[in-house]
Amino acid sequence: MKHIKILVLFLCAILLFVALKTTSYAKTKRISYQVPKSIDLTDIIRGNTEGLEEKTIYGELRMPSSLEGKVPAVVIMHASGGVFKFREIEMANLLNKNGIAAFIPYSFKARGITKSKQTAGTGVTFGMRICDAYAALNLLSSHPNINRNKIAIMGYSSGGIVSLLSLDEKVRRRLAPDSLKFAAHLNIYAGTIFVFKNVEPTKVPVLFLTGEKDDTCPVDKVLEYAQRLEDAGGNIKTIVYPGAHHVFDSPSSVKKLSRTNDGNCQFEILDDGSLVNSTTGEFFPEKDYPGNHIKPCSKKKLTFGRNNSAAQKYKIDAIDFLTNALQP
């Protein structure tokens, strides 16, 4: 009887090992993790990150079907509309085909937000989304099949703003342990609504992909900030797609939308974490920006829609950048 019990326990141990191994190699897996329930960019820079009430959100980890050793990974931050099959999921699949894992935090849906056209007004601050990204970096860095030194971040539109803000050392030092950092930053039709007055970029590769005719995230402001980052020692590259508007990879054709947008605004982030309205000189915390601060510089009748050339070319440029940046 004793020998039978030992045999049963042994068989259970083997089954558990197989199950765990299968889970590690599962192509797609939802992972829950903890982030601050309420925080903003100002809190992060000031170091107000300890002892905060936490909230459980989730992300989707998509692993390459074939694994050899530890693979690189990319955290994909979705735009204001949430996760879409044509955009974040398609990019994750493309990364997998190139031997790169992909992790998509559901920053809105995991918080009960299923319909959103812009981040302002959702109650989700950029500070919360930055924490979502860095918590994902910390999570993936301990994954047995992922190379902790080869985890990049990319984002679309407002998700690109998250990628861009997470580049600054004033943010990284607060949210990443020791020397851990994102290995590359890819910002796709991302705005520069928030810019650090004193830029302090990490020295990893950064790529901006933007449309020439983007009136939501104006290209001139993007190029100006990219130059500031480069002047501060950043490893910066920009690609501008001729004739392309905002969301140039959309399946929908180009159209004018009656939508108020704050992309024409720009606020400087000071070293103490406060924001200053570059027009009025008023100081305020990041969580207050959706109020009266954006009204004077918001505009309507924005242009969105597909540009076939940019929609195809950006995928090539993105994969080329990420595979080069994440080489062993």
At 73-119, the pLDDT tens digits run 999 999 999 999 999 999 999 999 999 999 999 999 999 998 776 77
Residue written as tokens 């935090």? 105
- Rounded CA-CA distance 134/137 in Å is 5
38-47, 63-72, 129-138: the lowest-pLDDT one: 63-72
pLDDT for residue 14 is more than 60: no
Residue 115: CB atoms within 10 A of its CB come to 8
Q: Are strands 205-211 and 185-188 parallel, antiparallel or unpaired?
A: parallel
pLDDT for residue 322 is more than 60: yes
Predicted pLDDT at 292: 73
Predicted pLDDT at 17: 36
pLDDT for residue 295 is more than 50: yes
Query: pTM (2 decimals)?
Result: 0.89
For residues 216-221, give the mean pLDDT. Answer: 93
SS (H, E, C) 17-82: HHHHHHHHCCCEEEEEEEEECCCCHHHHHHCCCCCCCEEEEEEEEECCCCCCCCEEEEEEECECCE
Predicted pLDDT at 27: 79
Q: Are strands 205-211 and 275-277 parallel, antiparallel or unpaired?
A: unpaired
255 sits in which H/E element: strand 255-257
pLDDT for residue 265 is more than 50: yes
pLDDT for residue 3 is more than 80: no
- Rounded CA-CA distance 88/46 in Å is 32
- Rounded CA-CA distance 137/131 in Å is 10
For residues 52-77, give the mean pLDDT. Answer: 94
| Domains detected in the chain | 29-250+307-325 (3.40.50.1820)
Coil, helix or strand at residue 254: coil
Q: What is the pLDDT of residues 161-194, one digit of tens each?
A: 999 999 999 999 999 988 999 999 999 999 999 9
pLDDT for residue 18 is more than 60: no
For residues 236-251, give the mean pLDDT. Answer: 97
Taking Cα atoms as reference points, which of 204, 237, 198, 217 lies closest to residue 159? Answer: 217
For residue 151, how many C-alpha atoms fall within 13 Å in the half-sphere facing its CB? 27
